Structure formats: C-alpha cells, structure tokens
Amino acid sequence: MSLTENSLERILDKKLKPLGEKIEGLVKSVEFISSQYDELLIKHQNMEAINCELQKENELLRNEVLDLQNQSEQMWDKVDDLEQYGRRDCLEICGIPVQKDENTDDLIISI
C-alpha cells in the first residue's frame, strides 16, 4: 500500500482541520478577552481619576466645614458677650435703701 503525495496531503488536512479550527477559536477568544481587558483598564483609569478628584473636593469641603464651625463658635462667643454686656444694666439689687441722687455704678463697685 503506497501513499501518494495527494492522498497523504488529504489525510493530513483531514486530521489537522479540527485542530486548526480550535486554534482559530482560541485566537478569537484571546482577542476578545484582550479587547475587554483594554476597555476595563481604561474604565479603571477613569475611575481612579474621578476618585482622585472626589478626594480633593472632599478635603476642600472638610476644610470649609471646619472653617465654618470655627466662625460659628466665634459668632456665638460674640453673641454671648453682647448679651452679657446688654444685661449689665438690668441688675436689680434688693435690700439696699434708695438714696436721692445716688450713683448706682459707684454703689455696685463698692459692694
């Protein structure tokens, strides 16, 4: 039984055809996965950039909140001072007889 070159070629083609189809399928799969990876990499880089921007904005907002809290404390201190200053003239002392032409400021200081 002698094999001619044509028959040998046909036998090899027949045997190698499924293997070639599998390799072609694997190449397509690798190309698809590669393109998906590239897309995910770009999305990841975009998300990192957005995250960085949000962290900067968050830090600025935190600083602004702290500044506003400090200003609020200072304002409440000023309000308290003004209220106390306003109450200084609203003091009533009982048990001391009233005298004509008395200086109440001197009287309070002496007490």
Would you say the pTM of this structure is higher than 0.75?
no
Q: Which residues fall within 8 angstroms of residue 93, CB to CB, at 6 or more apart? A: 108, 111
Query: Could you read off the pLDDT of 7-54 as tens digits, one per residue?
Result: 888 888 899 999 999 999 999 999 999 999 999 999 999 999 999 999
Does residue 93 contact residue 111 with C-beta atoms inside 8 Å? Answer: yes
How far is the CA of 13 from the CAs of 5, 23, 33, 82, 109, in angstroms? Answer: 12, 15, 29, 101, 119
Does residue 108 contact residue 93 with C-beta atoms inside 8 Å? Answer: yes
